[in-house]
Structure 1
Amino acid sequence: MSSATTFSGKDSHKRVRSHSNPGFLQRLGDTAGGTLVGVGLVFLSIYILFTNEGRALRTASSLDEGLSQVVSLGTFSSHDFQNNNRLVHLSAPLRTSKTLHDPNYGVEVQAVKLKRHVEMYQWVEYQESKDYQENGETKTETTYTYNTEWKSELINSRNFDKEIGHQNPSAMAVESVTVVAPQVQVGPFTLSEGLVEQINNFQTLSLTGFTSSDSDPFLTVHDDYFYHTRQPKRPEVGDVRVRFSFAGLSGDDGPAQTVSVVAKQSGERLVPFKTKSGDVLEILYPEELSAEEVFMKERQHNSMKTWGLRAAGWALMFIAVQMTTRIIYTLVDWVPILRDLVSVGLKVFAFCVSSSLSLLAIAAGWFFYRPLMAAALGALALLPVLLARSGLPAKKHL
């Protein structure tokens, strides 16, 4: 393999790498390896599709069970221990006991979470490659472009194709961090850690009223950011900016956020509720909802997740079948017309087989819960085979 570099601009250059075209035996060996990988992906896809159906049905059963048992609590200021260990629902404002603050920047807010998000101005490398044939060789032309951008993650410039003139610092001067209130209450109850984790509707903290620090002349406030530079509109590589955001407002900075919770009442705490199906109900939404509305949203979420995993499982199956049949294309890729026909045929074959195998995996997942539905899906999966056999000419008997 050989390479050559050409420069096409101030912050970009091109590099051309060439290598000889692989022979027939090498291509055959590569596709044979791909066939083994494809077989493995087929089993992975079947596993995803099969377990997804069981998960979806188990979740649906748990939601039905929860809705039939949930007790909606009214407005009160004390605990009703008659509902102890039962699944309860309530909508009430969030309350926290302490104000969250960041002493380094003088920021404070009474909320459930306070996040410090740090970005550094860094060099970023972009690559764009294209292949072409020349003198019996395959050449790859890669264009490397360098831009300066604000990034929250540290970019290692040592991995750049051209590091000279594009060096980034090896560490950030300030780290991102999220502070969580030690105790969060809704009504008279304290929320479990799992419920607190679901409070993630972050909003940017306005820095209106903040001014540049006299003690640090390089700290400037601009557009709700703290900039560690004198010129925020003309930053240099290595400059840092910090933005704050909060979730779950709960104090004097504004009206406390109302949340709706479905969980088990355990004394003065709201904790996970384990259903007979084996799932756990521990639900929080950052809005005022009735118990029926909470469970309706959970059903919608379960449906979207189920169909998303079905689509992902089918796509993985389609790719897997294509990889397993790629060896057939390799055997004829030296004949242009035949190569194109086989390519189209293999794609149609992969579509039919992946659809049938996906439906069979889904049917197997339904078998233990609804056998009739499983049988219907199995028959639908075999439809392409039946159609193909019906199109074959009947055998002549002498």
Structure 2
Amino acid sequence: MGNKREHVKITSEQKPGFLERLSETSGGMLIGLGTFAFAFYLLFTNEGRALKTARSLDEGLSVVVPLDNIQSILRENDRKLVHLSGALKTSKPLYDPSYGLSIRAVKLKRHVEMYQWVEHEDSKEYEENGEVKKETRYTYNTEWKSELVNSRNFDREIGHKNPSAMAVESFTAVAPDVQVGAYFLSKDLVDKIDNFKQMSLSRLEDPHADVIRSGDYFFHSENPRRPEVGDLRVSFFYAGLSADVPYVGPVDMVTIIARQQGDRLASYQTKSGDVLQILHPGELSVEEVFQKEHAGNSMKTWGLRGAGWLAMFVGISLMTRIFHTLVDWFPVVRDLVNIGLKAFAFCLATSLSLLTISAGWLFYRPLWAILIGLLAAVPIVIARSRVPPKKQQ
């Protein structure tokens, strides 16, 4: 963190009237309706996707052929799903001639950052003399950023101006041919090699007179310890080491499950509907690979379920916001209604989410779908049990 400056700006406007707030709430209801509909789509399709993926993985496990010798290609395995582990191999090193750097790896990434002004905004609203006032505190810091920060959008650009371009660009070089044993990897498999590690630059010389190496960075700066706005620093990362490199590490091992197509490894289309093309770092057995894939599928499924429930909760909250607006003039009533609406949105979102999930399972596992459907009634039953019964006349 470098320099820090700040200033405060206060703006005011008349407190919006009832009709104006009602109009804003109506717009929020339309957004809520769209969010509500999207939640149904997300939850329903997620269940079908999860079950299709699980079945495709089970199908893959039942037909996969382990390859014991990866140095020779067996034609009888052509078009079959195969499993193999081995060291990554590339035909030639990757270079960055601008900095005199090379490495035998699948990918080499040049990461460029510029020292720039960054604006941070913190606002709060309050009422005073019948007006709604907004106090905004703008803070300006100098930071290393890999993206260009457009200072024209700042509240106060004077004294906080950033350059409009970087003299050096970030880029990623990818080896043209990547092999494991005698097999060449498809582009999709190469894309999965993304476990980047930062390169140590301690044994390299300064590439130019105007570039200074400090730590694991090359600085385009007169004084790296006291950078100025517009200065650059460059770091390098590699993924998929394809040769033993002193002071870096041994060659990277990977495990692949894909379709053998001649001397290439490509995607395998399952009868269940999914495409299998799997790559994991390290040497793993067939069972370990499929366990990892099932765990990843389960994590993604629960993540999307949570996102679907949240979208439904937000959608219902926005659609019922109008009741909060109608009683906005009465603080005590407003607070009670707000609590009631949140409880209503929580219960309804939970019930409808469970019903949507059960509908997604109906075609695949009817018994589970019925059980989940029954579970969907629980929040409503709990909510009704808390309502006091009417007194006998």
Q: Percent identity?
A: 59
Structure 1 position 389, deviation (Å): 5.5
Q: Which runs of 5+ in 1 are unaligned?
A: 1-8
- Structure 2 length as normaliser, TM-score? 0.95
Distance in 2 between residues matched to 1:42 and 1:146, nearest whole Å: 39
Query: Match for residue 234 of structure 2?
Result: 242
Following superposition of structure 1 onto structure 2, how do residues 144-293 of structure 1 map, counting pairs within 5 Å? 144-213=138-207, 216-253=208-245, 254-293=249-288
Query: Match for residue 29 of structure 1?
Result: 23
Distance in 2 between residues matched to 1:275 and 1:56, nearest whole Å: 15
- Structure 1 length as normaliser, TM-score? 0.94
SS at match of 1:139: strand
Distance in 1 between residues matched to 2:70 and 2:294, nearest whole Å: 29
Structure 1 position 255, deviation (Å): 2.1
- Is 1:52 the counterpart of 2:46 in the alignment? yes
Structure 1 position 51, deviation (Å): 0.4
Does structure 2 retain, via aligned residues, the 8 Å contact 1:212–1:220?
yes
Distance in 2 between residues matched to 1:351 and 1:388, nearest whole Å: 10
Residue 296 of structure 1: which of 291, 303, 313 is its match?
291
SS at match of 2:337: helix
Query: Match for residue 5 of structure 1?
Result: none
CA RMSD of aligned residues (A): 1.7
Distance in 1 between residues matched to 2:39 and 2:383, nearest whole Å: 25
Does structure 1 retain, via aligned residues, the 8 Å contact 2:8–2:137?
yes
Query: Match for residue 323 of structure 2?
Result: 328
Structure 1 position 256, deviation (Å): 1.3
- Is 1:80 the counterpart of 2:70 in the alignment? no
Distance in 2 between residues matched to 1:394 and 1:220, nearest whole Å: 81
Query: Match for residue 347 of structure 2?
Result: 352
Distance in 1 between residues matched to 2:199 and 2:299, nearest whole Å: 32
Q: 1:151-204 CA deviation, whole Å, 9 max, x = no partner?
A: 000001111111011110000000000000000001110000000000001111
Query: Match for residue 4 of structure 1?
Result: none
Does structure 1 retain, via aligned residues, the 8 Å contact 2:90–2:179?
yes
Q: Which amino acid aligns with 2:227?
A: P
Query: Match for residue 109 of structure 1?
Result: 103
Q: Which amino acid aligns with 2:230?
A: G
Does structure 2 retain, via aligned residues, the 8 Å contact 1:131–1:139?
yes
Q: Which amino acid aligns with 1:41?
A: T
Structure 1 position 382, deviation (Å): 2.3
SS at match of 1:11: strand
Quickly say closer, same or farther: Cα 1:387–1:122, change in 2 above 3 A. Answer: closer
Q: 1:300-347 CA deviation, whole Å, 9 max, x = no partner?
A: 000000000000100111111100100011111111111111111111
Structure 1 position 10, deviation (Å): 7.0
Distance in 1 between residues matched to 2:340 and 2:198, nearest whole Å: 54
Distance in 2 between residues matched to 1:332 and 1:174, nearest whole Å: 58
Query: Match for residue 378 of structure 1?
Result: 373
Does structure 2 retain, via aligned residues, the 8 Å contact 1:219–1:227?
yes
Residue 39 of structure 1: which of 14, 33, 41 is its match?
33
Distance in 2 between residues matched to 1:132 and 1:50, nearest whole Å: 42
Structure 1 position 100, deviation (Å): 0.3
Superposed structure 1 runs of 4+ greater than 2 Å apart: 382-397
Q: Which amino acid aligns with 2:177?
A: Q
Query: Match for residue 309 of structure 2?
Result: 314
Distance in 1 between residues matched to 2:87 and 2:58, nearest whole Å: 27
Structure 1 position 394, deviation (Å): 8.1
Q: Which runs of 5+ in 2 are unaligned?
A: none
Alignment: residue pair count: 387
Does structure 2 retain, via aligned residues, the 8 Å contact 1:155–1:168?
yes
Structure 1 position 392, deviation (Å): 7.2
Quickly say closer, same or farther: Cα 1:380–1:319, change in 2 above 3 A. Answer: same
SS at match of 1:32: helix
Distance in 1 between residues matched to 2:151 and 2:49, nearest whole Å: 44
Structure 1 position 75, deviation (Å): 3.2
Distance in 2 between residues matched to 1:386 and 1:344, nearest whole Å: 19
Distance in 2 between residues matched to 1:292 and 1:87, nearest whole Å: 14
Distance in 1 between residues matched to 2:37 and 2:168, nearest whole Å: 46
Quickly say closer, same or farther: Cα 1:201–1:240, change in 2 above 3 A. Answer: same
- Is 1:140 the counterpart of 2:137 in the alignment? no
Q: Which amino acid aligns with 2:209?
A: P
Does structure 2 retain, via aligned residues, the 8 Å contact 1:217–1:230?
no
